Amino acid sequence: MLFENLINNEMACKCGVNHSISIKEIIIGKGAINKLEMVISKLGFTDNFHIVADANTYKVAANQVERKFLERSYNFTSTVFEKKDLIADESALTRLLNEIDDETSCIIAVGSGTINDLSRYAAFKLNKPYLIIATAPSMDGYASSVSPLIINGFKRTYSAIAPIAIIGDTDILKNAPYEMITAGFGDMLGKYISLSDWKLGYYICNEYYCEAIVSIVEKALKLCIDQIEGLKRREDDAIENLMNGLVLSGLAMLMAGNSRPASGSEHHLAHFWEMRFISEGKKQILHGHKVGVASVLMAKRYNFLSMLDKIDVINYLSQATTVSEDDTKARIKEVYGSIANEVIQENAYMDYVKEINRKIVEEWASIKEIADKAPLSNVLKSILEAVEAPSSPEDINISGLLVDEGSKNCMYARNRYTVLRLFDQLGLIDFEC
């Protein structure tokens, strides 16, 4: 019932956009994996499937799918990634594309973030439908139509396709490693910041904004925040609500046509840390943990803005130094090294700074209202601690130096207006977390 009025539907919205969601089936609950055959039959698939998993998700779910298919004499092939700390990069993607047969009618992804991103992009490139069997409530990308991939060491979001169906069995989800559950919770907590950043972009850059989509993300966030104690006990209802929230967040991105409702400065900082860990050969940290910690840091910026009045802002803008295009490119090359050209392409130089400065002053009352409504940083930290998730950079082995470097430079990774770009224009890029 939660998704009934959203999926497989086109909605005329007050924002002026007809929102369309192509997903046909979403089944989340106890024993949901047992409805796989019903789902593929309902969708018109009868044979020739390709199952995608990694070593862990094969053990917890993909092997069940294979046994069922063998019992029914379905033709199927499989890709099982054995590599630990699998990354959605060109190596893994090339292997997957090569192993999917031309005859494949539907790709069945069994896993969470990385498996989903690889399968979604492969399905897009091969023009084949795919469905996802979730194995952990660890991230909000299950319903997304884009794939964050690491190509040439740079994390960029690529166009892909949404799954035709999502299956989340709480008997499987609740037994995921607890750190993956808290990662999903951290990913959801980031919506406080992404929604604030989106509205910031609306006021300062006249960016498209939709209140209906915002209300869906807020509902998704509430589903999760209300379940802290239940999550710690791995209760079915709590796990189901977390998964529902994550999927709703993904549907919001589909409705918007991009990741704006669910990804802002908190994700940009998390991506910066991820790229740096990859370049240094360090073991990756779960995406949602990075997002949760980054959300605490970004909330501090909004809390600071809430203390400013218009005259403060005018003074900051008058004292701020406008950085030239050449200096910006030099900074990007210094920080991003071998992937600098990729970043420069993504980050068109803002030659409209004066116009934006005018908008900041003109819209300050609205901007301050956004800041006033943002959660207190220490409250977000306490929420993360309550669910036993990482809440500070030290908890995830992020040094103070990397926090500082990322806070100053992660905004270049996406050409979107966020609180970090606002701080840059106010001359507050050295703001200490």
Q: CA 165, CA 129: separation in Å to the nearest integer?
A: 9
Query: What pTM does this model have?
Result: 0.92
Buried b (16+ CB within 10 A) or exposed e, 5-31: ebbeeeeeeeeebebebebbbbbbbee
CA-to-CA separations, 323 to 229, 301, 403, 413, 431, in angstroms, rounded: 48, 21, 22, 17, 17
What pLDDT score was predicted for residue 74? 95
Q: Which residues pair with 27 in a beta bridge?
A: 167
Task: Give the strand order in the sheet containing 130-134.
Answer: 25-29, 165-169, 130-134, 106-111, 49-54, 76-81
Residues in the chain: 433
CA dihedral of residues 199, 204, 210, 213 (deg, nearest 10) = -30
Q: CA 60, CA 205: separation in Å to the nearest integer?
A: 46
Q: Which contiguous run of DSSP H or E holds residue 65?
A: helix 63-71
Q: Which residues pair with 108 in a beta bridge?
A: 51, 131
Domain chopping of the chain, boundaries = 9-176, 192-207+263-425
Number of Cβ atoms within 10 Å of the Cβ of 42: 12
Q: Which contiguous run of DSSP H or E holds residue 383?
A: helix 377-386
Q: Which of 381, 417, 406 is nearest to 189 (CA)?
A: 381
What pLDDT score was predicted for residue 105? 97
Positions of the chain with pLDDT lower than 50, given as ranges = 349
Q: Which contiguous run of DSSP H or E holds residue 341?
A: helix 340-346
CA-to-CA separations, 245 to 152, 177, 248, in angstroms, rounded: 32, 19, 5
Q: CA 190, CA 65: separation in Å to the nearest integer?
A: 33
What pLDDT score was predicted for residue 292? 98
CATH of 9-176, one of 3.40.50.300, 3.90.1150.10, 3.40.190.10, 3.40.50.1970: 3.40.50.1970
Number of Cβ atoms within 10 Å of the Cβ of 69: 20
Buried b (16+ CB within 10 A) or exposed e, 168-183: bbbebbbebeebbbbb
What pLDDT score was predicted for residue 221? 94
